[in-house]
A and B are shown apart, each in its own frame.
Chain A
Amino acid sequence: MTRHLPAIFFLLPLGLAICLPFIGIKHREWCRPLSIGVLATMVPVSFANLIGVLQHGSIHYDFGGWAAPVGIEWVADGLASVMTVALSLVGLVCITFLSSVLFPYLGSRIVPFYTLVLLLIASLAGMVFAGDLFNLFVFLEVSALCAYALVGLAGGKALVAGFRYLILGTFGASLYLLGVGYLYAETGTLNMADLAQRVPPLVASKAIGVGVLFMFIGLGIKMALVPLHGWLPDAYTYAPDRVSPMLASLVTKVALYGWIRIMFWVLGAQAVVYQIPILFLVGMLGALAALVGAFLALSQTDIKRMFAYGGLSHIGLILVGISLGNQTGFVGGVFYLLNDAVMQAGLFFWAGAIIHLYGVRTINDLGRLHGGAGWMSVALVAIALSMIGIPPTGGFFGKWYIVLGAVEAQNYLAIVAVLIATLLTLAYFVKLFERVFWDRSAQQPPLIREIPLAVRIGLGATSVAVIVLGLTSDFIVSFLLKNAVPPGL
């Protein structure tokens, strides 16, 4: 039974996504409880899978009984299992939030809406487990298609933002597929474990070098690495307020996870392409992303856009962590990735809630929040502390391990990048706090007196989660060190 848990984890949302259009013909009101129910079932399944993996080692699941290099394989090792736990928990909170009564009623569109959300979750699970480069591509595209449609759902400006996202995302996917084609032409296999055997001796060849570069650029567009991030700010700003938390916290992070898989499990940490160590290249781009993202966030006035740019800077920080070439840095990066999923969800919950509770979209209007907003202020402070990196929140410990790894690697540039990014993050949150807590000019009562339960759950869960992640960071990091470190690092 344990052996089948990865497939069950994936089939739960996929099965409901397929059934939902039929159920929705008669019982439109069932969409919401069924979706939340399925996500709630995925949480224990992911935990059972994690425990099974810890007890019996990684699960290699062969679809249709065809053994690995020929058939399609899914790999549930330590890292993938931890990711699925994070995916199911964040997904559950996000889907609870997006079903809140706060948001405009969807009418007949509720059925396709929940179908898309469930398909998105299923395809992200598929990306986490994929043990095959082409399988990763297929799930990448399924998740991206759901994301385009969900962004466009808001209508108006979101349509244009979604269209741009689609054009750039498809360009990235084509580059990724081309890279996969190069690797296949050179090695004759697509299975990651098999490639890990065959690529290292060939890594100096042009086909592998160019293929890896194409794959990196392709995934870079999907994870919105800074020079390639053009689609993200508009897409996340204009996306419906109910889905932006899910998109921001999960989609880019899982694309980043895909790159971690390829970089460490296929190419190997020591891979050198065209005399450039890949880790060095990734680290430089990550440092650039961390700084540029934070700078751009500082200059925004739209709240959602500011958080979107903040997310870009955090993608950079994660890349800085994993590229340090030692276990401390890698684990710090992965821990920060988990934190970032929670923090991005929390920030966009907050932004979505104030847009609908107070009608506030820009920082200048935030003065309206003053007083009578206990929930909103506490949640903002908790998540902001984690974003900035102040103990005892998870964000602090993530950055702490990244810096420790940088000291170990004697990479002082990385330390400087992390510190400057932290200061810039502090600066844009001070800008936010100043309006929320000291600006009394435009005080007004909220449009809705009572904060809806789903919003409270969303904000409460993420605020508690950042602190719990911080308090248990020692445990999580030693756990990751033991179970989720790639071979050869």
Chain B
Amino acid sequence: MFEMIGGWLQRPNYIAFVLLFLWGIYIMVTRYNLVKKLIGMYLMQTSVIFFLVTTSAKRGATVPILLSTTDVIQSEVYANPLPHVLTLTAIVVGVATLGVSLALADAIYKKYGSLDEEEILKRLE
């Protein structure tokens, strides 16, 4: 038991990821304000991006640009660039999603005069 918890504590990044992810879901589920829901959604998306970056982190490694073109390439000197590239794309996707969602929230506010989900559902009937 203690070994397991000790093992977890060695990886604070993953704990942070799990907390952020669950926190995002918690906000999405419990808040009635649409913008707050979006904040939760964005937190969740960001936590996944954080996870991707964490998997590529390497102690003592540098940016993946070759230090020398003549030496044999040592992979442990460089960080893995691929997750960063995925992250960039995922951030762009996240921003686009946020843009569409804010536009929808704005249209809902103009139509129903409220951002509170219960209030909106009441007016829908």
Residues of A within 8 A of B (CB): 134, 137-138, 141, 145, 148-149, 152, 155-157, 159-160, 162-163, 166-167, 170-171, 173-174, 177-178, 181, 184-185, 190
Contact = CB atoms under 8 A, between A and B. Distances in A.
Contacts of B121: 160
Q: What band does the interface of chain B fall in when counting residues whose beta carbon is under 8 Å from A? A: 20 to 34
A134 B89 contact: yes
Contacts of A137: 90, 93
B124 A141 contact: no
B44 A160 contact: no
Interface in B44-69: 44-45, 48, 51-52, 55
A40 to B, nearest CB: 29
**7 pairs of A and B residues whose beta carbons are closest in the complex:** A185-B55, A141-B93, A159-B108, A163-B104, A181-B52, A178-B48, A174-B48
Q: Which of B82, B97, B103 has the most CB of A within 10 A?
A: B97
B52 A148 contact: no
A74 to B, nearest CB: 17
Given A163-B105, A171-B28, A174-B48, A148 B41 contact: no
Given A160-B124, A171-B41, 13 more contacts: A138-B93, A145-B96, A148-B101, A156-B111, A159-B107, A166-B97, A167-B28, A170-B97, A171-B25, A173-B97, A174-B44, A178-B21, A181-B48
B100 A166 contact: yes
Interface in B6-40: 21, 25, 28, 34, 37
B51 A181 contact: yes
A155 B93 CA distance: 24
Given A145-B96, A145-B97, A184 B55 contact: yes
B86 interface: yes
A346 to B, nearest CB: 29
Interface of B: 21, 25, 28, 34, 37, 41, 44-45, 48, 51-52, 55, 82-83, 86, 89-90, 93, 96-97, 100-101, 103-105, 107-108, 111, 120-121, 124
Contacts of B100: 145, 148-149, 166
Nearest to A70: B82
A166 B101 contact: yes
A262 to B, nearest CB: 17
A184 B83 contact: yes
Contacts of B51: 178, 181
Given A141-B93, A145-B97, A174-B44, A159 B104 contact: yes
A83 to B, nearest CB: 23
29 contacts: A137-B93, A138-B89, A138-B93, A141-B96, A145-B97, A148-B100, A148-B104, A149-B100, A156-B111, A160-B120, A163-B34, A163-B104, A163-B108, A166-B100, A170-B41, A170-B97, A171-B41, A171-B44, A173-B97, A174-B44, A174-B48, A177-B52, A177-B90, A181-B48, A181-B52, A181-B55, A181-B86, A184-B82, A184-B86
Nearest to B101: A166
Contacts of B34: 163
Given A141-B93, A141-B97, A162 B124 contact: no
Contacts of B83: 181, 184
A50 B104 CA distance: 40
Contacts of A138: 89, 93
A167 B82 CA distance: 28
Contacts of B28: 167, 171
B101 to A, nearest CB: 5
A21 to B, nearest CB: 16
